[in-house]
Structure 1
């Protein structure tokens, strides 16, 4: 069984992103891609970098949630479980996921796909009882974003999920002026 959303990824190293932001722009890039997919008038990744409170070492989950709630007050933005993340995918909405060995105190875990990285979760697959997560990797230097698949079990200790869902069905088209 496989569920995958047709989300278009974006590289955090793209020419439209300020060079001094690129190494730590995975969080704002993830949010940008998800908001675009949801049909929300989207500020640039550079504007999101500042509005979300991103730093050179990345974007803390609590800060992403807090600041994105300010930008989208009519949306339900919060940390969620794997089960809720899968329900969001089933409902047609991508989820922001963070791989984080450092703040989860799992720095010796070498199996996880990343040491620290935000990506848009766009799907999942269950095959022979094994759950795999499908996501865009936000690209690399001189490389566009690619769809990757990773085993959930290898990453579960370092993963956190953030859902971005409408509180009401009529909130899809938020004016750009309301975002900044």
Structure 2
């Protein structure tokens, strides 16, 4: 079973993002992609989100992403961590989810993970016999732009966390 949302990605190395922000802009870019999909009227740009979410040169801490996105969206939204089952439910409801790969603060230094430290929007998934392949919009690098990729949940689950954003009923 495969499910994928039609979402426009963005590279953290795009020209409209300040040079000094680009190496650590994956969190704000992920928030930007999610906001643009969930709230098309949102006027926030990546450079502004970098500041509003509290990003630093070493990245965006999960607790800041949660706290500051809650402030930004206000009381009409749930912005909370979730597990893989809820990720699938959110995708079925038409809402992408933020994923954070973080081997440094997870203290899982020796594993072979897709990313060491990176925020990405999860835009779909595919169930296989023994795994769930997450379909992500990778926010790019110096060498390539934003692109859709599949990554193994099984291989990365020790360092993965997810954040969902959904309107309150």
For Structure 1 versus Structure 2, the TM-score category normalised by the shorter chain is over 0.9
* TM-score where L is the length of structure 2: 0.96
* TM-score where L is the length of structure 1: 0.90
Deviation at 1:151, TM superposition (A): 1.1
Q: Which piece of structure 1 moves more, 22-31 or 140-149? A: 140-149
Deviation at 1:143, TM superposition (A): 2.5
1:21 corresponds to: 21
Unmatched runs of 5 consecutive residues or more in structure 2? none
- 8 Å contact from structure 1 (residues 32, 42) kept in 2: no
Q: Which piece of structure 1 moves more, 79-88 or 24-33? A: 79-88
Distance (whole Å) between structure 1 residues aligned to residue 143 and residue 118 of structure 2: 18
Question: 3-state SS of the aligned residue for 1:58?
Answer: coil
Distance (whole Å) between structure 1 residues aligned to residue 154 and residue 119 of structure 2: 18
Unmatched runs of 5 consecutive residues or more in structure 1? 169-180
Q: Which piece of structure 1 moves more, 127-136 or 6-15? A: 127-136
Give the paired residue count: 167
Distance (whole Å) between structure 1 residues aligned to residue 43 and residue 157 of structure 2: 30
Deviation at 1:40, TM superposition (A): 4.2
- 8 Å contact from structure 1 (residues 133, 151) kept in 2: yes
1:147 partnered with 2:148: yes
Q: Which piece of structure 1 moves more, 124-133 or 96-105? A: 124-133
2:36 corresponds to: 36
Runs of 4+ in 1 over 3 A off after TM superposition: none
2:137 corresponds to: 136
1:82 corresponds to: 84
Question: 3-state SS of the aligned residue for 1:122?
Answer: strand
2:126 corresponds to: 125
Distance (whole Å) between structure 2 residues aligned to residue 22 and residue 105 of structure 1: 25
Question: 3-state SS of the aligned residue for 1:68?
Answer: helix
CA deviations on 1:135-177 (whole Å, 9 max, x unpaired) are 0110122532000001111000000000011113xxxxxxxxx
